[in-house]
Amino acid sequence: MKNTNNVILFLGDQDSSLLEWLKRREASVIYTSEKITADFIKRHDIQFLISYGYRYILKQDVLALLPDRAINLHISYLPWNRGADPNLWSFIENSPKGVTIHYLDAGVDTGDIIVQKRVQFNIHQETLATSYKKLHITIQKLFKQHWAMIKIGQCQRQQQMGQGSFYTSQEKDRLPYALTDVLHTPLSELNALSHHDI
């Protein structure tokens, strides 16, 4: 990293326990949940970017300023379930379940994988809400284990293999559940759905 200040930008929820963990370990961490521009990166002299639960797609002019220094924490086992609501779709399509930390590129969740981990669930005892919690605990732990190597660019990287799957936020509207109900839906019910049902 060029700048001795090593300003780290955290994109996501300001109440995230992972943000608090970073602030305790790094000299200069700023955050926002708002849409950012290349000018924002330059103005704040950002040296590393971490996206976790950020709802905007970063443009190429932003990423060009941070080559191999912009990562995303995604709660799916990429290349499966890129895009929105990855955990939900992993049960509906019965695809591999897990978490992935990857480099950001011009696509949506298509960058090279840094590290990922499969996560197992008991579909008869858990709901979508409890599975989300388990995935977030897993990815935060994975990030903490690998952050020291990631920030100095010494981590492994692997190109995503296979087509996988991608979903937009609008596709969730086709579900036979209200948004308020879906989080409390047993995983076994979601697992029983097929694309023909929605």
Number of H helices, E strands in the chain: 7, 8
CATH class, domain 75-131+157-198, is alpha beta
Question: Is residue 140 classed exposed, middle or buried when 0-12, 13-18 and 19+ CB atoms within 10 A define those classes?
Answer: middle
pLDDT digits (tens, 9 = 90+) for 111-163: 999 999 999 999 999 999 999 999 999 999 999 999 999 999 998 899 999 99
Can you tell me the distance from the alpha carbon of 119 to that of 162, in angstroms, rounded to the nearest whole number? Answer: 20
- Domain ranges in the chain? 75-131+157-198
Can you tell me the distance from the alpha carbon of 186 to that of 18, in angstroms, rounded to the nearest whole number? Answer: 28
Question: HEC profile for the chain?
Answer: CCCCCCEEEEEECCCCHHHHHHHHHCCCEEEECCCCCHHHHHHCCEEEEEEECCCCCCCHHHHCCCCCCEEEEECCCCCCCEECCHHHHHHHCCCCCEEEEEECCCCCCCCCEEEEEECCCCCCCCEHHHHHHHHHHHHHHHHHHHHHHHHCCCCCCECCCCCCCEECHHHHHHCCCCHHHHCCCEHHHHHHCCCCCC
For residue 154 the two structure tokens come to: 């010494």
Q: pLDDT tens string for the chain (198 positions)?
A: 334 468 999 999 999 999 999 999 999 999 999 999 999 999 999 999 999 999 999 999 999 999 999 999 999 999 999 999 999 999 999 999 999 999 999 999 999 999 999 999 999 999 999 999 999 999 999 999 999 999 999 988 999 999 999 999 888 877 776 555 788 888 988 888 755 455
- pLDDT of 177 reads 64
What pTM, to 2 d.p., does this model score? 0.92
For residue 175 the two structure tokens come to: 């579900």
For residue 148 the two structure tokens come to: 């020291």
Cis peptide before 79 (omega within 30 of 0): yes
- pLDDT of 186 reads 87
The H-or-E segment that residue 178 falls in is none
- pLDDT of 173 reads 79
Handedness of CA 22, 139, 127, 179 (dihedral sign): positive
- pLDDT of 2 reads 39
- pLDDT of 122 reads 94
* Pair type for strands 98-103 and 113-118: antiparallel
